[in-house]
Structure 1
């Protein structure tokens, strides 16, 4: 399993995914400035929304382009090989963002900025899929 960069704090999963999406295919090479890039992206994405509450899917869409849709695995897989940010969470609220980068045997695999690994989406401890930011 290849180590990817980890998010610098517990509120920057969204900006971490955006930075990775914008710097592919150069990752997972070590990025000494990753933390600074993520924190700057967090400020840029959240001009109105409080950063303490994370990053909205609409801010991610504004940065990467595309459209926000409710999560449907078929749509996410059809959008590949373009990276697809996916919002995961509890039954009540989205809490985490991962970046789906590929599929293996029909299963979406995502970069998880909390762990710094690429793993099957189903392996996440967050069971509910809320939104996907699909490319245009």
Structure 2
């Protein structure tokens, strides 16, 4: 579960790393370890350099985690990731891309209101089992809810961005 109201992106980054690296998951599973790792990751994701040490536009931590920072963080594993906007007139096509990517690994997705992205979740598999850091566990997302922008993830319904491996 995310330790504060603005670290959902960092919590998603930590869970993605845990899925990718079970040994790391074991190390951060102790009492208080996950929360500390999330807060440290949030500072890193919004700081002046990315996980690879490259300069990045600093971001006010109070605004959460920008999509490009999550993309760079996911790219640190060796496969380049990019933040792709979800076209409101082509959500079904983006959902198909998310499913293909989720067969390869977890997919961060930004959701929000009709006006702004406000929350980050992590699609764990092609069946759309989705880790919601606001509740700290996977929830199911129906295809129709994604396409209609009625998901209700931590109160947010509209998909805004998906962080996908390049080429998916």
TM score, norm. by length of structure 2: 0.71
Deviation of 1:69 (Å): 0.6
Q: Which residue of 74, 97, 109 corresponds with 1:64?
A: 74
Are residues 112 and 31 of structure 1, via their aligned partners in 2, closer, same or farther at CA, if it must alter by over 3 Å?
A: farther
Across the two proteins, how many residue pairs are aligned to each other?
128
Q: Which residue of 1 aligns with 2:44?
A: 44
Deviation of 1:102 (Å): 1.2
Q: Distance in 1 between matches of 2:19 and 2:29?
A: 13
Matched, 1:7 2:29: no
The 8 Å contact of residues 98 and 126 in structure 2, kept in 1 or not, is answered as: no
User: Of the two, which has the highest radius of gyration?
Assistant: 2
**Deviations for 1:65-108, whole angstroms, at most 9, x for unmatched residues?**
2011123111100102310000000000000000000133xxx2
- Structure with the larger strand share: 1
User: 1:36-115 alignment to 2 at 5 Å?
Assistant: 36-47=36-47, 48-65=58-75, 66-71=81-86, 72-81=94-103, 82-104=105-127, 108-115=128-135
TM score, norm. by length of structure 1: 0.86
Structure 2 residue runs without a partner (length 5+): 48-57, 76-80, 87-93, 142-150
Which stretch shifts more, 18-27 or 84-93? 18-27
Q: Distance in 1 between matches of 2:126 and 2:164?
A: 15
Q: Which has the higher relative contact order, 1 or 2, with Cα contacts under 8 A spaced 6 or more apart?
A: 1
Deviation of 1:24 (Å): 1.2
Q: Which residue of 2 aligns with 1:3?
A: none
- Structure with the larger helix share: 2
Deviation of 1:117 (Å): 1.4
Superposed CA RMSD: 1.8
